[in-house]
């Protein structure tokens, strides 16, 4: 039977598009087709967007430098204060900079500029290097397209789209994936759909070109059976006729193509993989529907002409063995067939939707998510029949006539995944469909909204798919519950199948102390752990990851628990705080504080300095602290007090002293 397929847009009013010319907008009625052209200059000017090429000044801690001594760790331990006297800087060792021998994190006092201080310290003969303590951020590439802020599926900052506020981070992490690559021009994606407006300024330069075909001469130059197929094919009549002009006379295919590979050219929108090429394979007509026979022709054309993958945002035609066979044949050429899961809000485990429902290793079925990381109300789902979810609600992309519009449907979710697969194929030449599928499934952002709604239990993460080198999923649903004054029960969901063990990470947080993580090694298939020997009334944080040899999954969610009972008290307070002051040869005044240490369990002291309405504190790590030095050139009245601390709490403050400078 030659079944009829159609685009997987939302029916009735949900099928409506919003067309954007520049930043203007026009809502259509419920008929689904976009309205007439909209002026490109309409609407307010877009907010400026930073580009990757813009220079960003480095940020650093205002009161710290990193210093490495030439003489090694032992000689350097007592060298920071001497270095301060040598340079006139007020320096205090904060902690060794492990694992670098002889390197320290050093706190600057007295308001010195870290850049100037680092330069001055580097000039000293005993210093190998000194530098500010720079702040680093994760790498991402933000394109300059004026409508990028509306592409919530690529980067969601919580922006409002068509009146609906989003959830920050509910996106596919495209900007982080682009830190690796934008896609290779050797990767060809077939858009099997209503055609593509190959003249659209955001698509023209990214169209696949059949270099063996001379356009417009009426001759099948490359002898592939299609005349003048310069950038794709057209088969819409159901009679086996194939021609060479895939121009979109609907809008659906152009919208899909833009999500996959719209150019990063500083205008309009940008696709998930803006460096790859689009092959237009038109089998859906101007009404958005087409025949099985033409779908088979489109799939075969795509494979025979070198497309490594295809997007298939259509369905509803019933099970077709002919189409199944065509897709199965494509799998022998390592061709990935990405398909929309359907818009009937039904469980496709029991009520399949085709072609997304074909149980083939090269078929990926994609459900639609919202900008709040929820399942779109219309999207089909299935714990075994839908592979993963991706943004598919209120998606802005290209439409014919140099325009842009919003559409919703699993039709819009599928091209997000297709673009991610194109990035995977670009980054890992020769990767198989099965391996690419594993990367996608394991790299998702796990979300409870998709739990048991798809194979991956999550939403597409393009960066995660590129980074994920393992064949197992991260643990999920970690829960930490205190059960006594010294015990916490931790449980989690085992989502891996090939792990060799688990690594549970724990850290302690108190008013005075945040420890590093302690790693607890556990056996494979472990789903719970009773953590014992803990302090009472103390908060502990936990996260867990699966391990396979030397490879690790992503971490689970993090949870915390506070053990029962009162927390141990702070140490006894210091007393007898006193001071001396000395005028130095450089004009500064040195204030030396001394006090009595009355604690037996202290791990440090904290000095508070107040000048007018300004208050600063300095931590002195280590037990039995009884002295502190401060140098200043600023004439003022300085009030000091000191308190001890242990692992859990601070003591009361000592008496106060006030020092007038000069």
pLDDT the model gives residue 452: 86
Most confident of 43-47, 334-338, 565-569: 334-338
What is the maximal distance between C-alpha atoms in the chain?
101
Long-range interactions of 106-110: CB distance < 8 A, separation 24+: 106/64, 106/65, 106/66, 106/67, 106/80, 107/63, 107/64, 107/618, 108/63, 108/64, 108/65, 109/63, 109/618, 109/630, 109/631, 110/630, 110/631, 110/632, 110/633
User: Within a 10 A sphere around the Cβ of 15, how many other Cβ atoms?
Assistant: 21
The active-site residue, picked from 408, 411, 470, 654, is 411
Residues 6+ apart with CB under 8 A from 214: 221, 228
> Per-residue pLDDT for 533 more than 90?
yes
pLDDT tens readout for residues 500-513: 899 999 999 888 88
Say what the pLDDT of residue 97 is: 64
Whole-number Cα distances in Å, 492 to 378, 509, 528, 542 = 31, 22, 6, 11
Asked if CATH classification 3.40.50.200 holds for the domain at 4-28+180-431, the reply, yes or no, is yes
Distance CA 644, CA 571 (A): 6
CATH number of 476-562: 2.60.40.10
Give yes or no: 636 in active site: no
| CB neighbour burial string for 415-428, b if at least 16 within 10 angstroms, e if fewer | bbbbbbbbbbbbbe
Q: How far apart are CA 225 and CA 220, in angstroms?
A: 7
Q: What is the mean pLDDT of residues 294-314?
A: 95
d(CA 105, CA 477): 37
Neighbours of 399 (CB within 10 A): 25
Which range (115-129, 164-178, 241-255) has the least confidence? 115-129
In tens, the pLDDT along 636-645 reads 999 999 999 9
pLDDT tens per residue, range 64-99:
888 888 865 444 445 787 888 888 888 887 677 655
Catalytic residue among 63, 171, 193, 457: 193
In 3D space, the residue among 298, 309, 278 whose CA is nearest the CA of residue 202 turns out to be 278
Same CATH fold assignment for domains 4-28+180-431 and 60-134: no
Query: Is 286 designated active site?
Result: no
Cα dist from 414 to 145, 368, 410, 438, whole Å = 22, 8, 6, 17
The string of pLDDT tens digits covering residues 275-286 is 999 999 999 999
The predicted pLDDT at position 286 comes to: 92
Q: Residue 485 in contact with residue 565, Cβ under 8 Å?
A: yes
Compute the chain's Rg from CA coordinates.
Answer: 32
Query: Which of 416, 17, 400 has its CA nearest to residue 196?
Result: 400
Residue 111: CB atoms within 10 Å: 12
- What percent of the chain has pLDDT above 90? 56
Domain 60-134 classified CATH 3.30.70.80?
yes
Closest CA to 360 of 405, 390, 329, 403: 329
Cβ pair 364, 440 in contact under 8 A = yes
- Residues 6 or more apart whose CB falls under 8 angstroms from that of 103 comprise 66, 67, 68, 69, 96, 97
Is residue 253 within 8 Å of residue 189, measured between CB atoms?
no
pLDDT of 491 > 70? The answer is: yes
- Expressed in angstroms, the distance from the first to the final Cα of the chain is 98
Establish whether 228 is a catalytic residue.
no
Q: What whole-number percentage of the chain has pLDDT above 70?
A: 86
pLDDT of 534 above 60: yes
Under a CB-based contact definition with an 8 Å cutoff, are residues 391 and 172 in contact? yes
What pLDDT is recorded for position 438? 87
What pLDDT was estimated at residue 393?
Answer: 95
Give residue 474's pLDDT band: very low, low, confident or very high (50, 70, 90). Answer: confident
Cα torsion angle, 113, 114, 116, 121, sign: positive
Sorting pLDDT into bands at 50, 70 and 90, what band is 37?
A: very low
> Which CATH number does the domain 575-661 belong to among 2.60.40.10, 2.40.10.10, 3.40.50.300, 1.10.1040.10?
2.60.40.10
Domain assignments of the chain as residue spans, ordered by start? 4-28+180-431, 60-134, 476-562, 575-661
Beta carbons within 8 Å of 204's beta carbon, 6+ residues apart? 198
Specify the 3-state DSSP secondary structure of 507: strand
C-alpha distances (whole Å) from 172 to each of 152, 177, 271, 422 are: 9, 9, 12, 14
Query: Of 473 and 429, which is predicted with more confidence?
Result: 429
pLDDT for position 49 = 26
Residue tagged active-site, from 200, 250, 252, 335: 252
Q: Is the pLDDT of residue 462 over 70?
A: yes
The residue that leads in pLDDT, 419 or 553, is: 419
Q: Dihedral (C-alpha) 302, 306, 311, 314: value to the nearest 10 degrees?
A: 10
Q: Quick check: 589 pLDDT over 60?
A: yes
**Mean of the pLDDT values across residues 185-193?**
97
Name all contacts of 155-161 with Cβ < 8 Å and 24+ positions apart.
Answer: 156/371, 161/371, 161/394, 161/396, 161/406
- Residue listed under structure tokens 């790590």: 621
């Amino acid at each position: 039977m030659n079944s009829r397929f159609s685009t997987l847009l939302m029916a009735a009013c949900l099928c409506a598009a919003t067309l954007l010319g520049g930043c203007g907008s026009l809502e259509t009625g419920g008929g689904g087709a976009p309205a007439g052209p909209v002026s490109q200059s309409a609407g307010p000017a877009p907010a400026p967007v930073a580009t990757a090429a813009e220079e960003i000044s480095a940020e650093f801690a205002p009161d710290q430098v990193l210093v490495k001594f030439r003489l090694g760790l032992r000689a350097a331990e007592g060298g920071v204060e001497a270095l301060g006297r040598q340079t006139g800087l007020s320096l205090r060792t904060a902690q060794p900079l492990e694992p670098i021998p002889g390197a320290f994190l050093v706190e600057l006092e007295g308001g010195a500029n870290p850049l100037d201080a680092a330069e001055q310290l580097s000039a000293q003969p005993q210093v190998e290097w000194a530098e500010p303590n720079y702040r680093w951020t994760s790498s991402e590439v933000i394109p300059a397209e004026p409508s990028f802020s509306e592409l919530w599926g690529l980067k969601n900052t919580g922006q409002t789209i068509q009146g609906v506020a989003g959830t920050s981070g509910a996106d596919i992490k495209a900007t982080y994936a682009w830190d690796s690559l934008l896609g290779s021009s050797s990767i060809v994606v077939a858009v099997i759909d209503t055609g593509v407006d190959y003249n659209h300024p955001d698509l023209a330069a990214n169209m696949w070109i059949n270099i063996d075909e001379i356009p417009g001469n009426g001759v099948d130059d490359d002898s592939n059976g299609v005349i003048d197929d310069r950038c794709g094919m057209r088969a819409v009549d159901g009679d086996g006729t194939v021609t060479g002009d895939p121009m979109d006379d609907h809008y659906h295919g152009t919208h899909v193509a833009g999500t996959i590979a719209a150019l990063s050219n500083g205008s309009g929108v940008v696709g998930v993989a803006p460096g790859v090429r689009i092959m237009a394979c038109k089998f859906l007509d101007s009404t958005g529907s087409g025949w099985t026979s033409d779908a088979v022709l489109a799939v075969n054309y795509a494979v025979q002409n070198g497309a490594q993958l295809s997007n298939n945002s259509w369905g509803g035609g019933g099970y077709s063995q002919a189409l199944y066979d065509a897709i199965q044949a494509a799998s022998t050429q390592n061709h990935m067939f990405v398909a929309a899961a359907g818009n009937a809000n039904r469980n496709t485990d029991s009520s399949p939707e085709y072609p997304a429902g074909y149980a083939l290793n090269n078929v990926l079925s994609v459900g639609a998510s919202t900008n709040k990381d929820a399942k779109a109300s219309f999207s089909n789902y299935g714990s075994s029949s839908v592979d993963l979810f991706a943004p598919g609600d209120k998606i802005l992309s290209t439409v014919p006539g140099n325009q842009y519009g919003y559409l919703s449907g699993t039709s819009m979710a599928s091209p997000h995944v297709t673009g991610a697969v194109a990035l995977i194929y670009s980054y890992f030449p020769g990767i198989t469909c099965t391996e690419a599928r594993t990367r996608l499934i394991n790299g998702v952002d796990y979300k409870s909204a998709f739990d048991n709604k798809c194979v991956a239990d999550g939403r597409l993460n393009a960066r995660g798919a590129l980074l994920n080198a393992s064949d197992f999923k991260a643990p999920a649903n970690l829960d930490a519950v205190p059960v006594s004054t010294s015990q916490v029960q931790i449980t989690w969901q085992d989502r891996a199948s090939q792990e060799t063990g688990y690594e549970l990470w724990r850290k302690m947080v108190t008013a005075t102390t945040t420890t590093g993580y302690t790693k607890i090694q556990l056996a494979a298939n472990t789903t719970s752990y009773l953590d014992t020997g803990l302090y009472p009334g103390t908060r502990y944080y936990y996260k867990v990851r699966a391990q396979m040899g030397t490879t690790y999954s992503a971490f689970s969610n993090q949870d915390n628990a506070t053990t029962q009972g009162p927390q141990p008290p702070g140490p006894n307070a210091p007393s007898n705080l006193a001071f001396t002051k000395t005028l130095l040869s450089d004009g500064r005044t040195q204030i030396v504080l001394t006090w009595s240490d009355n604690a037996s369990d202290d791990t440090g002291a904290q000095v508070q300095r107040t000048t007018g309405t300004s208050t600063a504190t300095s931590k002195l790590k280590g037990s039995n602290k009884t002295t502190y030095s401060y140098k200043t050139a600023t004439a003022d009245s300085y009030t000091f007090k000191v308190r001890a601390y242990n692992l859990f709490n601070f003591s009361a403050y000592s008496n106060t002293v006030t020092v007038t400078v000069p």
